[in-house]
Chains A and B, each alone.
Chain A
Amino acid sequence: MCLGVPGRIVETYEVAGLRMGRVDFGGVVKEACLEYVPEARVGEYTVIHVGFAIGRLDEAEALRNLKFLEEAGLLASEVGDPGEADVP
């Protein structure tokens, strides 16, 4: 029910009226249905579940999240005091 894997769109085309694409998972390319990500373009990442893209991955958001966690982790280890560091 939940296995969704990030993949990068390398090609889009139509098959039997459906928007399809070839998606690269890092050395493995498989066809997936892109009907549910009509704005996703070649080069973008999507989450693929059972051969369907169910959503686009937001790179800026991912980077923001990681950066935030990095800083929170660093801040915490500098301070070293329980309850001192504010982790939103």
Chain B
Amino acid sequence: MSPEAAMDIASLTCPLPVTDSPRVLLGHGSGGRMSANLLQQMFLPRFGNPYLNRLDDQAVLEVGGQRIAFTTDSFVVRPLFFPGGDIGRLAVNGTVNDLAMGGARPLFLSAGFILEEGLPLDDLAAILDSMQAACQEAGVLLVTGDTKVVNKGSGDQCFINTAGIGLLEHPWLLSADQAQPGDVVILSGTIGDHGMAVMSRREGLDFETEIRSDTAPLAGLVASMLEASHEIRCLRDPTRGGLASALNELARASRVGIEIDEERVPIHPAVHAACELLGIDPLYVANEGKLVGIVGAADADVIIDRMRRHPLGSEGSVIGRVTERHPKMVVMRTRIGGSRVVDLHSGELLPRIC
């Protein structure tokens, strides 16, 4: 071993990451830190207004004395069909859920399609059938839409954008900045199902499993919870970026600390195994049929009880609490009794070997 190397060990350095990319990177779309930065740097400066700045999943607008919730979401999942669902079902439920998180009753959807030349019409038919079924299940009407076709190679077979309108039929404000120390964090069920179901069909990473996407419309569950209590501060459906991202958003918006207990966060053994195998943290994996909420402690039992009576909330539980300690940070008490900070992940969630 060369003496030069021995002396130079002190100059071992870290690789410098390239942060200022002139182009859009995949990480910008993954719901983590890069996505947040993109929003802050590109979108908010241009469009900032009181509605947008709340950065909730939906905008609550006052129109003619009525409170209307309005939201939009785009769906780009690959593969298009996965265990438990498909892009169509996702597109309906995703927007329905964004409305539901504001406590709105979803009423109407629009759907815009960007189709790649060459997409089999049978696939399109299956997607549309699925959307129709999902609309019926969610009790919404698809009232307007658009279709464009792009050259082969320009689009990933099928992109869908849905926008939705719902009515707020109660006077309360469910928003990310409403959490207070002393409140309690609730979760409607197991995490990581959707993301790992999709991963299980990804080329190169595929595995055999019974994991199915949890995509489901949550408006009914939310309505039931709102009947039970007026102490619901905010709700989020933890989609891309997972539970960790949703909690971080709430902590930041409300300027509070959040603590959760690893033992209380439910996860299917198969999802757990898949995450272990690929070296992925389930806290960051997308969910499409779950909600996380912050509620007043006094009403927590009543709300959980109501949740559990609903098929989509049968595993609902308290997973943590809101605190004035470590504001804007999410901390998890680990199974072995330690603590770890649960931060926003920086970019694309990748399997690792290290």
Which residues does A use to contact B, with CB under 8 Å?
Answer: 1-3, 5, 7, 22, 25-30, 48-50
Contact = CB atoms under 8 A, between A and B. Distances in A.
Nearest to A22: B208
Interface stretch (B45-53, B110-118, B137-145, B269-277): B269-277
Given A3-B352, A27-B270, 6 more contacts: A26-B273, A27-B272, A27-B273, A28-B200, A28-B277, A49-B353
A25 B354 contact: no
8 closest residue pairs by CB, A with B: A27-B270, A26-B273, A29-B208, A30-B207, A25-B273, A28-B273, A28-B274, A28-B209
A30 B208 CA distance: 6
B354 A2 contact: yes
Given A3-B279, A5-B277, A26 B270 contact: yes
A3 B352 CA distance: 8
Given A26-B269, A27-B210, A30-B208, A50 B277 contact: no
A50 B205 CA distance: 11
A28 B208 contact: yes
A5 B276 contact: yes
Interface of B: 200, 207-211, 268-274, 276-277, 279, 352-354
A51 to B, nearest CB: 10
A48 B277 CA distance: 9
A25 B200 CA distance: 14
B269 A3 contact: no
A30 B354 CA distance: 19
Given A1-B353, A3-B279, A5-B276, A27 B268 contact: yes
A2 B207 CA distance: 21
Given A3-B352, A49-B353, A25 B268 contact: no
Contacts of A49: 353
B209 A29 contact: yes
13 contacts: A2-B354, A3-B279, A3-B354, A25-B277, A26-B269, A26-B270, A27-B211, A27-B268, A28-B200, A28-B207, A30-B208, A48-B277, A49-B353
Given A27-B269, A27-B270, A28-B273, A50 B353 contact: yes
Contacts of B208: 22, 28-30
Contacts of A48: 277
B276 A25 contact: yes
A4 to B, nearest CB: 9
A2 B279 CA distance: 10
Contact of B270 (A1, A5, A28): A28
Contacts of B269: 26-27
B268 to A, nearest CB: 7
A32 B191 CA distance: 27
A30 B274 CA distance: 10
Contacts of B352: 3
Contacts of B274: 25, 27-28
A1 B271 CA distance: 23
A27 B209 contact: yes
Contacts of B200: 28
Nearest to A24: B273
Contacts of A22: 208
Contacts of B268: 27
B277 A30 contact: yes
A28 to B, nearest CB: 4
